[in-house]
Chain A
């Protein structure tokens, strides 16, 4: 078996540090997801309304967030708010703000897409049956939209978890930074450790994202 340098993980508290790093990443992403999902659903619904003013504002918000790389957003919120307003946000708070802004924008577009994909005749059939507007949404539109949203939002959530690797640029020590620290601290003693440690990081990310996929598959089946 090739030397993967895994013994490095058993030195001192290295494995614990890696897991604590994973939790730091998960904390940032899951708090942001918890903010993004409801806000995204709200904004996505607003986007399907006919009000041109609301539509324009949301469109600009979405495009700005979508065009701007997350790294730039992180720098803007972490350093920019200090320059402009003198706020001293911690790296974690800045990350949660950026990831929530980003998640909300992307989620709102997913919701908008899912909503307008429900064909017009479904609404009309509901009306023809004498259902009220609330009933049409409750029994016809929302269930179908939710089902369409599941795979899309799982994509977004796992992407948000993985993108937390950028927050090391604003001083937050998360799993990838810990991995780099461990590899570099053992550069001479175990030069092969990089491969083994990145393998472990991969597995940890996998086990963090996998339950989400499983839950999604369960929901998809249940709501069929």
Chain B
């Protein structure tokens, strides 16, 4: 078995290096880059600091650049064939289809999403972007297509269902820098928190019973409870409900309007329910569909 693995490894390596030796350092890309640079320049001279491309310009170009996560399964990730997949990507492909343009996916990180829009290096961000007031000053959000809230998961034998009348000996596990930490510190200052730096350490802490419960984004805790036997999400929605929405560069009215119309129109075919069925149902199951999906941009 080991031998065949090694053989496959070697043959793939040989094949790839052969292919790349043939095509290596080809000058593909440079042409389109300079073209892009030119169109960008024209826009800049047209308006003082408009860096975005309008709807017509995108249609004319034939390609829309959409920033998505490439490593956040199941929202935006790349499968084993190198294809972008996930809840956000499913919607991005629909946008491309209905706009009649090719979708060029750009791999973004949480930290550079705003920068990408402000410099017009992407047309839309569809990277699980939570709508907040601070962000809305920097970019324009369209109608939402998903809900997020905080959730609390705890072991089956002692399910935490409410944060009121808290026993001050019990601690809640949180990951530093998350909205869960901010929310609990502000609204439940009496509950002692146990802070961890990463998902993996927080997970270990819960499994070792260092705290009675773990608070995090509800999508995270729901997925955790479904994948690990013996844990229940006692509080599936805590605090204010936030939404996830597409974002465009500040002031890009034409594109924003088109996306809003698109989201409204897609409600007829229950598009985001279909999106959930195609991408999220394996992780979250049927029961959270109504809680997570926002159809037609309408939140309760």
Task: Check A82 against B12 for contact (C-beta < 8 Å).
Answer: no
CA distance A10 to B37 in the complex (A): 39
Residues in B whose Cβ lies below 8 Å from that of A14: 80
The verdict on B82 contacting chain A, using a C-beta distance below 8 Å, is yes
Q: Is A124 an interface residue (CB 8 A)?
A: no
* Cα-based distance from A78 to B120 in the complex (angstroms): 12
Counting CB contacts under 8 A, is B189 at the interface? no
Q: How far does the alpha carbon of A19 sit from the alpha carbon of B112 in the complex, in Å?
A: 26
- A181 lies within 8 A of B70 (CB): yes
| Contact in complex: A12, B44 (CB < 8 Å) | no
Q: B29–A168 contact, CB under 8 A?
A: no
How many residues of chain A have a CB within 8 Å of chain B? 40
Q: Decide: B73 and A168 in contact? CB cutoff 8 A.
A: no
User: Does B22 sit at the interface, judged by CB under 8 A?
Assistant: no
Question: In the complex, how many angstroms separate the beta carbon of A72 from the nearest chain B beta carbon?
Answer: 13
B17, B25, B36, B282: the one contacting A88 at CB < 8 Å is B36
User: How many whole Å from A151's CB to the nearest CB in chain B?
Assistant: 28
Q: Which residues of B contact A19 (CB under 8 A)?
A: 12-13, 16-17
Q: With both chains docked as a complex, state the minimum distance between the C-beta of B245 and any C-beta of chain A, in angstroms.
A: 21
Of chain B, the residue at the smallest CB distance from A183 is B71
Task: Find chain A residues with CB under 8 A from B5 CB.
Answer: 6, 10
Q: Would you call A88 and B107 a contact (CB within 8 A)?
A: no
Residue of A whose beta carbon sits closest to that of B16:
A19
Once the chains bind, are A11 and B16 in contact (CB under 8 Å)? no
A127 touches B (CB below 8 Å): no
Closest to B17 in A: A19
Residues B106 and A185 in contact, CB atoms below 8 Å apart = no
Partner of A187, one of B8, B44, B73: B73
Interface residue? A86 (CB, 8 A): yes
Say whether A13 contacts B80, CB under 8 Å: yes
Assess whether A83 is interfacial by the CB under 8 Å rule. Answer: yes
Write out the residue numbers on chain B whose beta carbons fall within 8 Å of the beta carbon of A183: 71
* Set of chain B residues within 8 Å of A82, measured between Cβ atoms: 40, 51, 119-121
Q: List A residues at the B interface (Cβ < 8 Å).
A: 6, 9-17, 19-20, 23, 27, 75, 79, 82-83, 86-90, 92-93, 168-171, 173, 177-178, 180-185, 187-188
7 smallest beta-carbon distances between A and B, as pairs: A12-B80, A86-B44, A82-B119, A184-B71, A11-B80, A88-B40, A181-B78
Q: A83-B51, A181-B77 are in contact. List 13 more A-B contacts (CB 8 A).
A: A12-B80, A13-B80, A15-B9, A15-B13, A17-B82, A19-B13, A19-B16, A82-B120, A93-B33, A171-B107, A171-B112, A173-B70, A187-B73
- A sample of 20 inter-chain contacts (CB < 8 A) reads A11-B80, A12-B80, A12-B81, A13-B81, A17-B82, A19-B17, A75-B115, A82-B40, A82-B51, A82-B119, A82-B120, A88-B36, A88-B120, A90-B29, A171-B116, A173-B70, A177-B70, A181-B78, A182-B78, A188-B282
